[in-house]
Amino acid sequence: MAQSELARGKEGSATLVPSNTSAAEFLSELDAYLGTAKGLAEGTRRKYGRFVQGFLDGWCGDSSPNWQDLSIEDLRTYLRCELSSKRRRPSNSPIVALRAMLRFLAVRELVPPGLEETLPRIRRWRHATLPASLSSDDVDRLIKCVADAATFQPLRNTAIMLLLARTGMRATEVVHLSLDDVDWAGGIIHIRGAKSRRDRNLPLFRDVGRALVAYIKRERPSSSYRTIFLQAVTPARPFTDSSAISKIVRRALNRAGIVSARGAAHLLRHAAATNMLTRGTSFKNIADVLGHQSLQSTATYAKLDLPSLSRIAMPWPGERS
């Protein structure tokens, strides 16, 4: 059925527009489409791009993709290989990425519309797992690790770690944080154009403010860039993407001996949310701080509030009260 649908598209290929775009150009155009037309965040686009590039590497190699030769079996072969890999836990991401690619190709009239529905789905139960997080003691150990004067760029990395842990900022928000976004007198950090495409204000905690000032005055290279955090290599430039922040956190996790199966910078965002919840902060206020558009995204942290859950837990059947 799926194969015949693609075949029908090929038979009517007079209506399809041929393309001589190279794989690299196509990936750039896809990224722009996902950002402008679909409003996807930088990290999501980068993740989708990795999977699409992996498919293109296996399908057309160094040649320009000839989309009229694309078959459903080509897509499924890649997905079988990717989903059977033991390098990562099962995820819908490769499938979602290829669906996004097929929708983009359909918009450009390079393939018939509706092909994304022919790809398989992985059923995932909402709230079936616990979000990865760190304890307060783990967070304190991480901050001490990066603050060690023997480490690389200790003042910069301490400020980054405190921003993530105290405010729950996303790694990409830390990367793009500007000197103009900090209201020192008002004690406010202004987050612009974040993942939810809504600006929000966060409190500038005293320890975060002190760490930022220490980095800016004593360690930050002289630069015309207004972005706060710069690379240490010459010439000093802003980080290219949020993966640099995750690498800083991952190195600190390794030095602190904290074993985490998954996650890096996002672990500190989860820890900030869990800390707010255990202090009695409402879901609405937590959602506002984290920049969640839906309370459903915030509700997942309720599973980590074990003291509150223990008060409402029903006794196990047959257990004596």
Integer Cα distance of 157 and 82 in angstroms: 34
> How does pLDDT run across 46-76, given as a tens digit for each residue?
899 999 999 999 999 988 999 989 999 999 9
127 as an active site residue: the answer is: no
The helix (run of H) or strand (run of E) holding residue 188 is strand 188-191
> How does pLDDT run across 139-163, given as a tens digit for each residue?
899 899 888 867 789 999 999 999 9
Strand order in the sheet with 200-203: 182-183, 188-191, 200-203
CB atoms near residue 282 (< 10 Å): 12
195 as an active site residue: the answer is: yes
DSSP state of 230: B
> How does pLDDT run across 111-124, given as a tens digit for each residue?
999 889 888 877 66
* 176, 195, 220, 270: the active-site residue: 195
* 99, 176, 269, 270: the active-site residue: 269
215 as an active site residue: the answer is: no
Residue 110 C-beta-side C-alpha neighbours within 13 Å: 18
33 as an active site residue: the answer is: no
Residue 151 — φ and ψ, nearest 5°?
A: -85, 170
Please check whether residue 232 is in contact with residue 152, taking contact to mean a CB–CB distance below 8 angstroms: yes
CB atoms near residue 151 (< 10 Å): 15
Tokens (6 digits) for 219: 């360690």
The helix (run of H) or strand (run of E) holding residue 46 is helix 42-59
301 as an active site residue: the answer is: yes
Q: What share of the chain is helix, strand, coil (3-state, %, to 5)?
A: 55, 5, 40
Q: Which domains does the chain have, with CATH numbers?
A: 2-118 (1.10.150), 136-308 (1.10.443.10)
> How does pLDDT run across 179-236, given as a tens digit for each residue?
999 999 999 999 886 555 678 889 999 999 999 999 999 999 999 999 999 998 888 8
* 45, 99, 170, 270: the active-site residue: 170
266 as an active site residue: the answer is: yes
DSSP-assigned letters across all residues of 90-133: --SHHHHHHHHHHHHHHHTTSS-TTGGGGS------TT-SPPP-
* 166, 176, 266, 270: the active-site residue: 266
Taking residues 293-297, what's their average pLDDT?
61
